[in-house]
Structure formats: structure tokens, C-alpha cells
Amino acid sequence: MGKKLGSSETNSIIPIKRGGPLDRFRYLTSSDERILEYDVDRVVANVRSPFQHIQILHTTNFGNLLVLDGFQNLAESDLVYTETLIRRGRIDYTGKNVLILGAGDGALLWELLKEKPKMVTMVEIDEMVMKLCSQHLRTACGTALDSYTGPNHQIIVGDCLLELDKLKASGAQFDYVFSDLTDIPLSTSVRQEKEWQFLRSVMEKSLELLNKDGRFLTHGSGVSSIQSLKNFEAHLANLEPAVRFERWQAFVPSFMEDWVFYQVWRTSEE
């Protein structure tokens, strides 16, 4: 082949699988849109809710994997994602009031409840995600989604922006707010302007609910999405009131890449 093409070098690349009954489920993308192949051997769920396309795919290496609108969200193998987000061992949640936005897989709620908080309030818009995860992702969410109310937790099914407004009107205050919603957009193009505005609104409304010394924690994107992370940090720099942040990262198995996480706080609290 090299001689026919007049090339001095050739390289054999494994072809993308096509034609098999599971092949269309095997391929997802990294944070910077590189193709990733997964060892999917069974489709556990493949449905559409009023909000998004929900898939739970069983993989040999990662167990059941939650995929929303074509993006991998969490697998049974991904405890490191949740532990890194909450900074387990570095933050003491004992007796604290915590708010979770999103995280419909239930893993964040499940792990936070182990930290003996005073109360965890979770807001998730898609009840179908929670029901499917409570059935098929129990390694990650345990019994957290079995009941929407408990001694120290409550789950609100609703739009997070509307619920943030309600919480502000009620005078609610939190020690920690977690945003585990949509990923950071890849660019600042007009097409993704609404996504950036949504993230900005979430951050601004969340900061208003934090008490003195409160912290806002969220996930970012993969480390290889350099420009996307720079864009996010530029948005942080323009928030009012002014904030500071720190970032850290960890390798998430089912993402097949290092993922970046953030902690944000108001500079007026320093």
C-alpha cells in the first residue's frame, strides 16, 4: 500500500466497528471531542424523557454507565469523581447545610450523606433519570434516591433556577452549594451563548445563598479542553460579587481522562 501511494511510512489503525447491534452505542467523545471506544455489551436503558435522551449502557470495564444526550455522566466505577468533587478528607461536612443542583444519578447525595451533614437539599429537573439510576446505578447511588425525603435530606423535582429563586425568597442559607449540571461549553460561540448564560446565572444565584465562609463547588471539563477551562475561569473573573477559586483534577475511569474541579468563594469573605 505504501508503494502504491508513494509513501515511505505506513501505519495500521484499528477501524471503527460498524454493523453490529451494539456498535452505535460503543462510541462517545472526550471533552475535546476525540473519539472514545467503550466495551458496551448490553443496553440497559435507552429512553427519552421530556428533557433529554437517557441511556444506561453496561460496559465490561466500568459497569453501568449513564449517558445523557450522548455525553458520559457517571459509571459505577467512578467513585473518584464524587470523592474528588466533595474533597473527601479535606472538607468537614458535619452539621452543615448543603445544596446540590443536578446530580440526578444520586451519587453525590449518597456520598455526602455519609459525611453527617445537618441537611442536604437536592434539586433535579429530570425525575426519569433518578428513577433509572435508583434501579440500575445502585453501586453509585446506594439507597439515596429510594425516598425523596429523609432525616437529613430532601429531593426537589424542579428547575434549578426557579428553585434557587424560591430558596432566596425563603431566606435559606447554605454552607456549601454543589453544581453538578451541564459541562462547560467548548467555546464562546453564539451557538453556545445560552449555555454560558445558564452557568453564569447558576453561579450568581448560588453565591447569593452562601453564608459567611460558604463555598460553591462544581466540575469543569477535561484537562485537554484548555480553552474551555480558560473561558470558564474568565467568567469567574467577571462575576459580581468578585470571587476567588481553586482547581484540582483527578482521573475519572469512564471518562478516560483527567477531569478538573473547582471551588469558588466570595473575596469579601476572606
Asked whether the bond before 21 is cis by omega within 30 degrees of 0, the reply is no
Active-site residue (options: 180, 183, 213, 258): 180
Tell me the C-alpha to C-alpha distance, in Å, between residue 194 and each of 23, 88, 200, 242. Answer: 33, 33, 10, 22
Where is 103: in which H helix or E strand? none
Answer yes or no: are the C-beta atoms of 221 and 235 closer than 8 Å: no
Answer whether 103's CB lies under 8 Å from 122's CB: yes
Q: Any catalytic annotation for residue 126?
A: no
Q: Three-class SS of residue 208?
A: helix
DSSP state of 153: E
Torsions phi, psi for 126 (to 5 deg): -105, 100
Mark residue 19 as left, alpha or beta (left: phi above 0; alpha: psi -120 to 50; beta: remaining).
left
The residues that are catalytic are 180
